Amino acid sequence: MSRKLYIKTYGCQMNVYDSERMSEALGGQGYVPTDRPEEADMILLNTCHIREKAAEKVYSELGRLKHLKAEKPDLKIGVAGCVAQAEGEEIMRRQPLVDLVVGPQSYHRLPQMEARLGSGAKVLDTDMPEDDKFEGLKGRTKAKRGPTAFLTVQEGCDKFCSFCVVPYTRGAEQSRPADRIMAEARELVEAGVREITLLGQNVNAYHGHAGDLAGLVRDLAGIDGLDRIRYTTSHPNDMDDALIAAHGEVPELMPYLHLPVQSGSDRILKAMNRKHTAESYLAIVERLRAARPDLLLSGDFIVGFPGETDADFEDTLALVRAVGYGQAYSFKYSARPGTPAMERKGQVDEAVKSDRLARLQALLAEQQAAAQEAMVGREVTVLFEKAGRMPGQLVGKSGHLQAVHAEADAALIGTIAPVRIAAAAPNSLKGELLERV
C-alpha cells in the first residue's frame, strides 16, 4: 500500500521547486502526495528563514502538528529548507516530535534518510556538499503537468548583503551544468509545459554555460514547444551586456524582470553591502528599457534598515518614482541572527518602520494600478493556466506576468492566445479572447 506525503512550502519559488523534487524523490520510496496533513504518513515543512516572522511560523506549525503525532505515532515529521539549515539540531531540541531535519543541499539523500527513519532513528543532515544535489535525484516525472514550471539553475549567494541570511543557509553560488538544465527543460516541455521560470538566489550570476545566463536563455529558446522563458531573482551587478541584449533579441524571454534594489539611498546601500548605487541601478534600468521598451519591472525593498533616516527613506521614494514599478515586494527590516546588520547601531523604531512601509506601499500600489490601467485596450498574449472562478472563464498570465481572466473554452488551457484587455483591477485584468489570425 502506498504511503502519503504532505509537504507544506514556505517562502520563495526555489522552495516550491525543491518541494516538487523532494516529492518526486520520495515517490521512489512509495510515497504519493496528499494535500491533507491528517491522512499523511510523512509531513515535511519546507521552511524559510529570511525574516523573523517566517522562521517563527515553523515552530507554530510544529505545535499544531502535535495532535496528529499523538493520534498516529508512526507519523514522520521533517523540517527542510532554510530554517533546517540555520537551526539544525536546535529544532529537535525545541520540538522533540521532529524526526528529520534536512538542509536544502541534502535533498538528494532523502531516500536513504527515509529508510533510516523507518527503523526508528532520528536523522539530521545539513551538510553542504559541492555536487549538484539535483543530479542525485531521479529525472522529472513524466506525468502530464500544468503549462508553467520552475527550474532551478543556480543556488546560493556570494554577495553577503549585510541583512541577509541566504549566503549562510544556501551556501556559495553554484550553477548547474547547462546540458542537465536543457535535458530537464525538454522533459518538462514533453510533459506539457510551455513556460519555464529559471530560478536562482542570484540567477543572473549563472555561469554553467559558456555564454552565462544569456547563453542558456538563447539555447532554451531553441527548444520546440517552449514558448516563454522568465528568470528570477537577479542582482543588479550581474546584469551583463549579453543579458540586457537578450531582452531585446529573444522573443521567448518575457518582458518582465524582478530586479531588487532594496533602498534608494547610497549611504544605506553601502551599509547593506549592495556594491551598487542608486544611480548605477537606474542606469541598468535605462539600458534594459532601451533594449525592451515595454519591460515591466518589479523590485524588493527594505525599510528601516539600521541607521536609515527620513532623508534616506525619501531617497527610496525618489528612486521608486524614477523607475516606475509594475509590481513590487517591500518589507520592514528584520534583524537576523548571524548577519552583520544585526550588530549595527541605530536599529529603527518599529512604529517608524511601519509608517515608512505604509508610505512606500501606497506609492508602489499607485504605480501598480497605473501599470494595470495602462494595459486597457491593448492586445496581449495569454498563456491560459486553469479555470477561473466564474463559470466559462479561464485565467492565465500575460507576458508581463499579469493575471488575465477571459471567457474561453477549457480546451484552451495550456495554449497561448491573443486577448484584448477590457478592464483593469489592481491584481488582475479582464480580457476578451481574439480570433487567432
299 sits near ligand SF4 (criterion: CB under 6 A):
no
Binding partner selected for residue 406 from ligand 5AD, ligand SF4, none, CB under the kind-specific 5 to 8 Å limit: none
Which of 50, 188, 375, 404: binder of ligand 5AD (CB under 6 A)? 50
Q: How many CB atoms lie within 10 A of CB 434?
A: 14
300 sits near ligand 5AD (criterion: CB under 6 A):
yes
| Phi (first) and psi of residue 238, to 5 degrees | -100, 10
Which of 201, 327, 334, 398: binder of ligand SF4 (CB under 6 A)? 201
Which of 9, 29, 46, 202: binder of ligand SF4 (CB under 6 A)? 202
Q: How many residues bind ligand 5AD (CB under 6 A)?
A: 12
Minimum CB–partner distance for residue 260 and ligand 5AD (Å): 4
The grid coordinates of residue 255 equal 518582458
- Across the strands, what pairs with 432? 420
- Closer by beta carbon to ligand SF4, 14 or else 429: 14
Give the C-alpha separation, 28 to 107, whole Å. 13
- Closer by beta carbon to ligand SF4, 137 or else 164: 164
In this chain, which stretch among 163-171, 250-258, 279-287, 327-335 interacts with ligand SF4, using CB under 6 A?
163-171
Minimum CB–partner distance for residue 103 and ligand SF4 (Å): 16
- Closer by beta carbon to ligand 5AD, 300 or else 432: 300
Minimum CB–partner distance for residue 159 and ligand SF4 (Å): 4
Q: Are 195 and 227 in contact (CB under 8 A)?
A: yes
148 sits near ligand SF4 (criterion: CB under 6 A):
no
167 sits near ligand SF4 (criterion: CB under 6 A):
yes
Residues within window 162-201 making contact with ligand 5AD, judged by CB under 6 A:
163-164
Minimum CB–partner distance for residue 344 and ligand 5AD (Å): 12
Closest CA to 405 of 424, 193, 415: 424
Binding partner selected for residue 50 from ligand SF4, ligand 5AD, none, CB under the kind-specific 5 to 8 Å limit: ligand 5AD
334 sits near ligand 5AD (criterion: CB under 6 A):
yes
Binding partner selected for residue 235 from ligand SF4, ligand 5AD, none, CB under the kind-specific 5 to 8 Å limit: ligand SF4
Binding interface with ligand 5AD (CB under 6 A): 50-51, 163-164, 260, 262, 300, 302, 331, 333-334, 336
Binding interface with ligand SF4 (CB under 6 A): 157, 159-161, 164, 166-167, 201-202, 235
